[in-house]
Structure 1
Amino acid sequence: MRQATIQALKIHNLDLFTSDPEQEFLERVRGGHFFPDEADLLRLYDNLNVKYYCGALPNVRIEWSSRMKHAGKCIVSHLIIKLGMAYHKHYPEDIVDTLKHEMIHLKILNHGPEFKKEAARIGTTRFAKDYPGMLRGLRYLYQCPSCGETFPSRKRLRERSCGRCSKGKYDPRFKLKFIKRIDNR
């Protein structure tokens, strides 16, 4: 069924429509009386897939997560995109932006230069905003031995290195050092 929908969208040039599905979605969310369910998100994904990738991205499952504190997550190996309910209750206008960001991860795993270029091409951000609930539950603080950047975490980290210094792949030279336990509940 979804393949047929994508094929139909490909056949009809989206520019011929009088309205942009992405803008329509944003206007509905900004109005305050609409919060999308997973079926709405899937329709939006299909439209964005056709608009920015000519329908080339794979079919995915999109889920709301009530446990996630951050904006979104793409589990490429299972073709699942999860959106954080708490984050988007604070910033409903960011739903489209987050979905586009996670769609890029289906092609590009880390946030390097290639990701930055693709994000600029499709008009999305690389990072989400902070909000009060995001910091709750952070218990550990780590630091990169090279650049000094700090990384708060909810759980103990084992083999993690600084993404910036290690260029997105684990490198023991940049293994994060445990600094202290923090109480931020």
Structure 2
Amino acid sequence: MTNLIPKEKRIDELIRFGAPKLFLENIGNVTELEFRVEKTDGAYFYLPKILDYKIIRNQNIIPIFSCGESFYVFTFNKHTERIIHFELENDAIYTDYGNNWNVLLMDIMIQYFEDKIDNGIENNDFKRVGEKIEFHKAEKLFKLLDIPIEEYNTKYDQKEKWRIEIAKELEIL
């Protein structure tokens, strides 16, 4: 049976499964991540309507955060524990993080970098956002992302491969 963990138990349950407390406390409160890392109100509204999705069937579900019509949730049962990202109208997993909170935080920081790249972003600003979500590898991640645009575009063409290389370089995978 699929079970949505109640909102009032959400933070304690996520912490029990290794989620960084500061990250959870700051969801929806980090201006720089507005629209990317939002509160779970939408998840608690929509998830009860899609509990028959095969990707969450027979799982306990704890919403982590929302991003528009996309949800990041922690699912678990007797056999598995994992963080997944999926979209409301698609019964498919976009990203499966296993139970690696650091890779999830890395992806949030990469999205933040991509959002700001055209206007420029400073290492100190990037590091400060990392601190707000308890991602301790922000400074090193910034150095891996802050490369000449031609090199960035080449690596971006194989984004998933590059993402894995970055996670290994950060020693979080």
- What TM-score, normalized to structure 2? 0.29
Higher relative contact order (CA 8 A, sep 6+): 2
Considering only CA atoms, is the larger Rg found in Structure 1 or Structure 2?
A: 1
- Hey, which of these two has a bigger chunk of helix by percent? 2
**Which TM-score applies when normalising by structure 1?**
0.28
